[in-house]
Structure 1
Amino acid sequence: MRGTTRTVAVAGISAAALLLAGCGGGGEEETPDASSAKAGGDISVEGCSPQNPLIPSNTSETCGGNVLDLVTAKLVSYATKDAKPEMDIAESITTSDNQNFEVKLKKGYKFHDGTEVKAKNFVDAWNYASYFPNGQGASYFFTPFEGYADLQSEDPDEDGPQKAPAPKAKELSGLKVVDDHTFTIKTSEKVSNLPVRLGYTAFAPLPDSFFADPEAYGKKPIGAGPYEFVSLTPDVDIKLKKFADYSGKDAAKPDNITFKIYADDETAYKDLIAGTIDVMEQVPTSALIGEAWKTDLQGRAATKAVAGITHVGFTKTDPRLSNVKVRQAISMAVNRQEITDKIFNKGRVPATGWVPPGIDGYAAGACGEACTFDAAKAKTTLAEGGGFTGTLEFAYNNDGGHKEWVEATCNQIKTNTGINCVPRPFVDFSTMLKELESRKFNGMFRLGWQMDYPSIENFLAPLYGTDADSNYQDYSSPAFDKLLNDAAADGDPASSNSKYQEAEKLLGQDLPTMPMWYTARQTGWSDKVNTVEVDAFGVPDYGNVTLK
């Protein structure tokens, strides 16, 4: 994930199409206002505080992820316009059975420290990510690899005096280095879309120097991407500079990019209007009312629909939310259309399921009656579920522009069910995630999801698979997990999608979260830069920004 991570708007991208490609495909991107555009110069953009040190396999949120996407390179990259997978560090990824894969690397691809990216840099990085004692948050993405279970362990008393026993193994049996530029992957089951997944940040290679001092790397990461990491000043900024010896095809345009860290988006928006920052990924909700943002920015803004979703989770630790009818009642009490019309000025689309339109396998209506506004039905359903006593806290991060819609949602829940819903703001996204991870918070919480890689599976497995990294609601269903495994192993795209759709329908029955709306980006920029393109994941293409 990224909990609010990457988003894609694509129709059907097949692993087979990627496997057949020996190198990056796709046409040239158009450069807006090319006559006045120029590469070079410095830009500053809105940023936020990373949750964890900047290690690729331990970064699963946008604050750190947007930075690492510029710093790292992976086997695969995704085209800006349509998220089409293209070879990057990989020369080729081939398989005859969707279980045994051979990866060949391009020769001479360099890390920022000047060393060459070799097969062992992938294998060592993925073993490190998978090994339970290393505590990597994105370890879950390596679950399909053969031997993953042997690298896991379980804390017998959950952070108590006892320590988890050492895992059976330290390396994945499914990874083998063949030579400097070749390695193989074996999965425990067939995984038809594995090559498509390999462009996600967690699959980035790590230089040899990482293993000597992972802590130092987390403070100053070394990747193979178009930008080098310069510095991180907590709560102030993150600085990057262009990598002169970048080996890939997506050469950087700005010389320097500074992510200025903001505690709230209103302050960032004021700075954008004043020209203090140059790019803001999403203007604040308050600026959408009456389309004030278009007037404020005077042609320096654009809207793009992206296949992301906002949902509200229910903590499993709160016994008052354990009855599914209570969760259904809360969801039915929310008038999504009214909120998207009035708060977002029709800039969002009410969700009817957990997978957004534009994703191959999307099917409307998976949420069913629970996502249909019905105040009367909400009251009767709540009574059938045993009611709700006390205050229902609704957690959100204050640095993301969520205050208005969270308050509106709470007001609707209170009006339509009588439940005393109260917004609970956290200072920033990182702080909220840590509170959710501690499992000490009881109530509801806001999260968004942006695609990590272009697949319907990415909207289901990382959020709702048992023990998945972003499964903050602790949903666990053997039937759901089986459908995910069966779908991943199915080599026929239509049949695979059908199984994923069945899994999504189970979410409709169990309602671990309530879908709210599908995403669009309202992005703004300063008058010193040309038009900013938002990529298929909903993130500004910072590396291609040009100055006037």
Structure 2
Amino acid sequence: MKLRITPLFPVKRFAAMAAACVMLVSVAACGSKSDSGATVNPGEAIISVNNTEPQSPLVPADTNEMGGGKVIRYLFEGLVSYDVNGKQHLEVAKSITPNDDASQFTIVINDGWKFTNGEAVTASSFADAWSYAANVKHAMKQASRMSIIKGYDELQDPNVSDDAKLSGLEVKDDHTLVVTLNHSDSVFPVQLAHQSFFPLPSVAYKDIKAFGKNPIGNGPYKLKSWDVSKSITVVKNPDYKGSRTVKNGGIEFRVYTDEDSAYADVLAGNLDVLDAVPPSAVKTFRTAKNVTAYSQAGSTYQGFVIPERLDHFGFDEEGQLRRQAISMAINRKQIVDKVFSNTKTVATDFTSPLVPEYSKDLKGAANLEYNPEEAKKLWAQANKISPWSGDFKIAYNADGSHKAWVDAVANQIKNTLGINAEGDSYPTFSDIRDRVTDRTIATAFRSGWMLDYPSAEDYLTPLYSSASADGHGSNDGDYKSPKFDQELADALSQTDESKRTAALQEAQETLLQDLPSIPLWCDNVAAVSAQNVKNVQFDYTNMPTYNTITK
């Protein structure tokens, strides 16, 4: 049967939610630097936006953080994409056709696509990239994204050759790729929007790190320059053939180590777009002069991970009691009100209100509610198993304006449980990610997740599946639960949407008991742009659609 391309949630529902929640405030002012200077053709203007320094070279399957991800999404194009309304578009793919039980997919590639070095984008461009990502010898951070494809487990053998391929990929010809999965997965066509499934040109494999410093893609933009720790500039790719029409000349991703500085630059007219205002501005940004403010429902998950390797926090009875106690010691609503001026949505599960599987009523959701008396009771029960010793710390990056909420969370834990709890600051996002990635961090640590495609699966598989643990994905706490893995696999095998939703919610109920991470809230869009900037939209990832912005 031919695959029917439909949004994972109703487009009208998404648009209505955005319209109901969005607020644009434009305050006229004189003397703004963004209003001065020579007139530039909107199609040629370079738009300046905030960013952090990427942790790694810009290789799609080796990037699992926002500093690199923001750029990669615009240097490459995949088989499919999603627009601001959550509607799926075929891009490099001409068609994606499943067999009867969604365990095999035939992908037909559109003709005429090419990388910016002139090489044609073919079925092999995808198959080779996916096999390279899956092969344990290459240590790609997003390797587990390929675990659904047949042959992945064989490529995890440390003795495998570095050119071994996924057996589930069959290139029929330049335009036809047959993908055989380990089991049925009705969400596979949705997952193909993720950057780990982007194609790579053949030159990438000669020196993958060198390639990542000067990536060659097939997306709406191409790399112009990368001034490390300062900025990355991309310019319009005239040969791009996809649906993301480019309305400017390029994007300058400026690296900031302090979000307050970025906000000040927007106010002064020195930065065009800031995608998240700092806590210091959440009470005032809607009425600030010289800017346009944006506020709407968002999907970016925020919480903190307590690695199972920490003393007292194994995935056993003591660890479960302590995780639940810590979660119940946190008054999320108070922090959202006082620290963030209601620019966050308090977590009730492990997803966000923008995906159809979201729920406020799952079994175990009470573990995310403020209940200091129950928290004390659970902590005392854990102490009977093994008396508590030491401090409880939450690591965070100082360049991301996290200090205020981390201090608030730590103080609530300290006051409720009677233990020493505090924040542990790292200078930059790259610093903390390096410690998390190599498993040398010895504390809990903040965790954020930007939605890659509009499905609860994108929160659950990469963050909590066993295949994503031990450095093979984004399961940074190394949570491994055969029960959860099976529930997730059963859910993804469902071709009926209502049954799949119910099964994914059941899998979440396991997480709500185990609490491999402590969900706190979802970031709403709270952003600003300079007043002369136009056509700023935000998609389901909470990010601006950079290609539409003009000035």
TM-score w.r.t. length of structure 2: 0.89
Is 2:135 the counterpart of 1:131? yes
Matched residue count: 511
Aligned pair partner of 1:502 in 499, 503, 506:
506
Q: Percent identity?
A: 34
Aligned pair partner of 2:307 in 298, 311, 315:
315
Give the superposition deviation at 1:527. 2.2
Rounded to whole Å, the distance in 1 between the matches of 2:3 and 2:491 is 16
Give the superposition deviation at 1:217. 0.8
Structure 1 residue runs without a partner (length 5+): 1-14, 21-25, 154-163
Rounded to whole Å, the distance in 2 between the matches of 1:443 and 1:415 is 19
Rounded to whole Å, the distance in 2 between the matches of 1:327 and 1:540 is 35
CA contact (8 A) 2:266 2:291 kept: no
Give the letter aligned to residue 96 of structure 1.
N
- State the SS of the aligned residue for 2:423: strand
Give the superposition deviation at 1:177. 1.0
Aligned pair partner of 1:60 in 54, 64, 67:
64
Give the superposition deviation at 1:187. 0.6
Rounded to whole Å, the distance in 2 between the matches of 1:429 and 1:149 is 32
- State the SS of the aligned residue for 1:195: helix
Is 2:123 the counterpart of 1:119? yes
Residue by residue over 1:304-345, the C-alpha shift from the partner in whole angstroms, topping out at 9 and shown as x without a partner, is 211232111112121133321111111111101100011111
Rounded to whole Å, the distance in 2 between the matches of 1:378 and 1:99 is 44
Rounded to whole Å, the distance in 2 between the matches of 1:315 and 1:196 is 30
- State the SS of the aligned residue for 1:354: coil
2:91 corresponds in structure 1 to: 88
Rounded to whole Å, the distance in 2 between the matches of 1:420 and 1:37 is 57
CA contact (8 A) 1:197 1:454 kept: no
1:455 corresponds in structure 2 to: 455
With over 3 angstroms needed to count, the CA separation of the structure-2 counterparts of 1:124 and 1:246, relative to structure 1, is: same
1:532 corresponds in structure 2 to: 536
Residue by residue over 1:175-204, the C-alpha shift from the partner in whole angstroms, topping out at 9 and shown as x without a partner, is 111111111111111111111110111111
With over 3 angstroms needed to count, the CA separation of the structure-2 counterparts of 1:483 and 1:525, relative to structure 1, is: same
1:356 corresponds in structure 2 to: 352
Aligned pair partner of 1:152 in 152, 156, 164:
156
- More divergent stretch after superposition (322-331 vs 219-228): 322-331
With over 3 angstroms needed to count, the CA separation of the structure-2 counterparts of 1:168 and 1:41, relative to structure 1, is: closer
Aligned pair partner of 1:258 in 241, 252, 256:
252
Give the letter aligned to residue 464 of structure 1.
Y
1:391 corresponds in structure 2 to: 391
Rounded to whole Å, the distance in 2 between the matches of 1:418 and 1:19 is 51
Rounded to whole Å, the distance in 1 between the matches of 2:452 and 2:380 is 39
Give the superposition deviation at 1:212. 2.4
Give the superposition deviation at 1:438. 2.2
Give the superposition deviation at 1:167. 5.4
Give the superposition deviation at 1:101. 1.0
Rounded to whole Å, the distance in 2 between the matches of 1:51 and 1:343 is 28
Is 2:331 the counterpart of 1:335? yes
Rounded to whole Å, the distance in 1 between the matches of 2:218 and 2:511 is 39
Rounded to whole Å, the distance in 2 between the matches of 1:408 and 1:362 is 27
Rounded to whole Å, the distance in 2 between the matches of 1:518 and 1:527 is 27
CA contact (8 A) 2:267 2:291 kept: no
With over 3 angstroms needed to count, the CA separation of the structure-2 counterparts of 1:503 and 1:174, relative to structure 1, is: same
Give the superposition deviation at 1:37. 9.4
With over 3 angstroms needed to count, the CA separation of the structure-2 counterparts of 1:384 and 1:47, relative to structure 1, is: same
CA-based RMSD of the aligned residues comes to: 2.3
Give the superposition deviation at 1:285. 1.1
Give the superposition deviation at 1:499. 1.7
Aligned pair partner of 2:240 in 243, 246, 258:
246
1:283 corresponds in structure 2 to: 277
Is 2:288 the counterpart of 1:296? yes
1:472 corresponds in structure 2 to: 476
Give the letter aligned to residue 364 of structure 1.
K
Residue by residue over 1:248-306, the C-alpha shift from the partner in whole angstroms, topping out at 9 and shown as x without a partner, is 23221221211111112111111111111111110101111xx2112334551111211
Rounded to whole Å, the distance in 1 between the matches of 2:255 and 2:440 is 27
Aligned pair partner of 2:485 in 481, 484, 488:
481
Rounded to whole Å, the distance in 2 between the matches of 1:195 and 1:358 is 19
User: Which runs of at least 4 in structure 1 moved beyond 6 Å after TM superposition?
Assistant: none
Aligned pair partner of 1:272 in 247, 257, 266:
266
Is 2:446 the counterpart of 1:446? yes
Aligned pair partner of 2:159 in 165, 178, 181:
165
CA contact (8 A) 1:99 1:189 kept: yes
Give the superposition deviation at 1:481. 0.5
Give the superposition deviation at 1:168. 10
- State the SS of the aligned residue for 1:460: helix
TM-score w.r.t. length of structure 1: 0.89
Is 2:380 the counterpart of 1:370? no
CA contact (8 A) 2:358 2:456 kept: yes
CA contact (8 A) 1:37 1:546 kept: no
Rounded to whole Å, the distance in 1 between the matches of 2:397 and 2:190 is 31
- State the SS of the aligned residue for 2:200: coil
Give the letter aligned to residue 448 of structure 1.
G
Give the letter aligned to residue 391 of structure 2.
T
Give the superposition deviation at 1:462. 0.7
Rounded to whole Å, the distance in 2 between the matches of 1:16 and 1:417 is 53
Rounded to whole Å, the distance in 2 between the matches of 1:38 and 1:440 is 47
Give the superposition deviation at 1:487. 1.3
CA contact (8 A) 1:102 1:184 kept: yes
1:158 corresponds in structure 2 to: none
Residue by residue over 1:376-409, the C-alpha shift from the partner in whole angstroms, topping out at 9 and shown as x without a partner, is 2222211111153221111111122211111111
CA contact (8 A) 2:535 2:548 kept: no
Structural mapping, 1:178-189, within 5 Å: 178-189=172-183
Rounded to whole Å, the distance in 2 between the matches of 1:168 and 1:539 is 36
2:31 corresponds in structure 1 to: none
CA contact (8 A) 1:18 1:196 kept: no
Give the letter aligned to residue 231 of structure 1.
S
